[in-house]
Chain A
Amino acid sequence: MDDAGAIAAFWILSAVTVGSALMVVIVRNLIHAVMLLVVSFVGMAGLYVTLSADFVAVAQVLIYAGAISVLILFAIMLTPRAGRDNAETFLRLPALLLAVLMGFTMGLVALETDWAIAGRGGFEETASVIGEALLSKYVLPFEMASVLLLAAMIGAIILVRSEGFSEEEEEE
């Protein structure tokens, strides 16, 4: 990241990401919050692009901006309190305190750590490198993750289809 374009891109993308993430918390309207979350996700994808992690960037758009946000929308629409306002909370002060502490800790870690600087340049093509790593060095975690997801999926199905209910009762 030497040239002016990359630096400008970094600052603009960071501003978009952090700004929209802040707005997600501040804004009252839940649907607006989800839309801003999408903006934040896309900004993150842009940051990945500047780090020459093209595969991760596209996966970020596909999974987070495209799928996760849609799932969140689905969840908002299906809950009874699908009102347009984010409810008041009495935990405002503790939450503020926690946020400040978290921010302080993370900032301190980011500033104080002696970050290693990679000697090599960016990858030419990350997709194949990630694929090979997933199926050779990290094959066990990869397979375990798939088994875990399968178990979670079956668990969700069993939770929804408990034996005590007949089909009519489920539909309400």
Chain B
Amino acid sequence: MPLLAEWWDLRDLGNSVGAFLQRFEVWGAPGWVPYVVSGLIGILAILLWLLASQIVFIWIERRAIALMQNRMGPNRVGPMGLLQPLADSLKLFLKEAITTRDSDRLLFWIAPVAIFTPALVVFAVIPFGEGMVLADLNVGVLFLIAIASLNTLAVFMAGWSSNNKYALLGAMRSVAMLISYELIQVLALLGVVLFVGSMRLGDVVGWQSGFHIWLILLQPLPALSYLIAGAVEINRSPMDIAEAESEIVAGYHTEYSGIKFGFFYAAEYFAGFAIAAIIVSLYLGGWTAWGLEEWVPGWLLFVAKVYLVFFIFVWMRGTLPRLRIDQLTAFAWKFLLPLSLLNVLVVGGEVLIWREADVPAEVALPVIGVVNAVMAVALVVGWGWMLGHGRSEGQAKRAVLTQEVGAIIYGKAAPGA
């Protein structure tokens, strides 16, 4: 992308910020002032973007799930219910924030704040566009996993300090899930690091644009397992067993009300956007799209992809039933873990052969992609069959009652009845 350093060139938002920062040199401010100001601008921009996206996506999520489930969804406040999120947040601000008598006051107060922090800090290393990153750490991928794992501590704090058995159950479930799925995350992202040879997120995106291939094509299995592990991490359906409302009221935030509950609600969205942004940067090419970034600003592409991936989470929530805690942990240990380990082994071998044998990338990458895709399908199907989830037990049949009712309505005997 040619960098025109005019402030109005919106293809790289850094241009306008850079032009603004140059004023400081003109004014003769000391060297650290532009540094601090640019950091503040980045933080503010990310926060505002997150808040705006969240408000829009609350509406999209509620309407989309309502559509999927044949309901109306919010439709009274504003045109098509568009103002519903604003009304909701106003309600959350105005409601009384109740602190129960026997709760642990200090942790009860800290938990809503603590759950916010990891979700926000993750965005520091996410490249929104070429060079548009707050802190391009050279251990970025590891940083993502490390920060995301702190989320569970906040959840535990909330659940434990509430002094409520349902809250404590939710917290314990969350901890059990973290122990199971953190390994899966690490192993899934290890494949990316093996290919790219760097943990800097900017390098990962640059690698994908340099070879004109998205890593999801080379790494379909880890991308899938990271999507699942990410959904577990942020407590979204169908993995929201830490707050399963049909089992344990509202899980770890049962006792929270008012704006403190609002914090949990918002943090869930922020963490969701964070996971989506990680998936986009690592597997879906970040701010590049096979040459489209020449015409459309990279950050716009990035944001669009983040919304698309987040919509997958919404879709999952609307269509999949919730898992049980033992099913979820068993799935991690028995299914995802062996497959991820095998994948790391295979990817290591592939990268080694590619580097050592000096195969040109135009030949090597498509071959690796096909091999890995075939391997992913074979492993998922084969391992599922081995664990006894094959079809031999009996295929899903049409419900008998439906068939009988159909026979009454259409006046003929139900097939097989």
Contact between chains at A58 and B139 (CB < 8 Å): yes
Contact between chains at A66 and B107 (CB < 8 Å): no
Contact between chains at B147 and A127 (CB < 8 Å): no
| Among candidates A29, A59, A73, A84, residue contacting B175 with C-beta atoms closer than 8 Å | A73
Q: How far is the CA of A69 from the CA of B179 in the complex (A)?
A: 11
Q: B165 CB to closest chain A CB, in angstroms?
A: 12
Q: How far is the CA of A146 from the CA of B90 in the complex (A)?
A: 54
* Chain A residues whose C-beta falls within 8 Å of the C-beta of B179 in the assembled complex: 67, 70-71, 74
| Among candidates A66, A71, A73, A77, residue contacting B146 with C-beta atoms closer than 8 Å | A66
Q: How far is the CA of A58 from the CA of B392 in the complex (A)?
A: 47
Contact between chains at B149 and A77 (CB < 8 Å): no
Contact between chains at A58 and B175 (CB < 8 Å): no
CB 8 Å contact bits of B169-205 with A (1 = contact, 0 = none): 0001001101100100000000000000001000000
Q: Residues of B within 8 Å of A, CB-based: how many?
A: 26
Dominant secondary structure of chain B at its interface with chain A: helix
Which of B153-161, B300-308, B328-336 sits within the interface?
A: B153-161
Chain A interface: which size bin? 20 to 34
Dominant secondary structure of chain A at its interface with chain B: helix
Contact between chains at B152 and A31 (CB < 8 Å): no
Q: A169 CB to closest chain B CB, in angstroms?
A: 19
Q: A70-B175, A70-B179, A74-B179 are in contact. Are A61 and B139 (CB under 8 A)?
A: no
CB 8 Å contact bits of B124-167 with A (1 = contact, 0 = none): 00000000000001110011011101101100110010000000
Contact between chains at A58 and B156 (CB < 8 Å): no
Q: A54-B139, A62-B142, A66-B146 are in contact. Are A73 and B156 (CB under 8 A)?
A: yes
CB 8 Å contact bits of A36-61 with B (1 = contact, 0 = none): 00100000000000000011001101
Q: How far is the CA of A3 from the CA of B10 in the complex (A)?
A: 36
B179 nearest CB neighbor, chain A only: A70
Q: A31-B107, A54-B137, A54-B138 are in contact. Are A70 and B153 (CB under 8 A)?
A: yes
The verdict on A161 contacting chain B, using a C-beta distance below 8 Å, is no
| Among candidates A29, A59, A69, A127, residue contacting B153 with C-beta atoms closer than 8 Å | A69
| Among candidates B107, B138, B149, residue contacting A32 with C-beta atoms closer than 8 Å | B107
Q: How far is the CA of A69 from the CA of B160 in the complex (A)?
A: 15
Q: A107 CB to closest chain B CB, in angstroms?
A: 32
Contact between chains at B142 and A58 (CB < 8 Å): yes
B156 nearest CB neighbor, chain A only: A73
CB 8 Å contact bits of A78-102 with B (1 = contact, 0 = none): 0000001000000000000000000
The verdict on A143 contacting chain B, using a C-beta distance below 8 Å, is no
Q: A31 CB to closest chain B CB, in angstroms?
A: 6
Q: A97 CB to closest chain B CB, in angstroms?
A: 32
* Chain B residues whose C-beta falls within 8 Å of the C-beta of A55 in the assembled complex: 139, 142
Q: A160 CB to closest chain B CB, in angstroms?
A: 15
* Chain B residues whose C-beta falls within 8 Å of the C-beta of A65 in the assembled complex: 146, 149-150, 153
Q: How far is the CA of A74 from the CA of B32 in the complex (A)?
A: 44
* Chain A residues whose C-beta falls within 8 Å of the C-beta of B156 in the assembled complex: 70, 73
Q: Give chain A's interface residues, CB within 8 Å of chain B.
A: 5, 29, 31-32, 35, 38, 54-55, 58-59, 61-62, 65-67, 69-71, 73-74, 77, 84, 125, 127
Q: Provide a sorted-by-A list of 6 A–B residue pairs whose CB atoms are within 8 angstroms.
A: A59-B146, A61-B149, A62-B145, A67-B149, A70-B178, A127-B139
Q: Which 3 A-B pairs have the closest CB atoms?
A: A66-B149, A62-B146, A61-B146
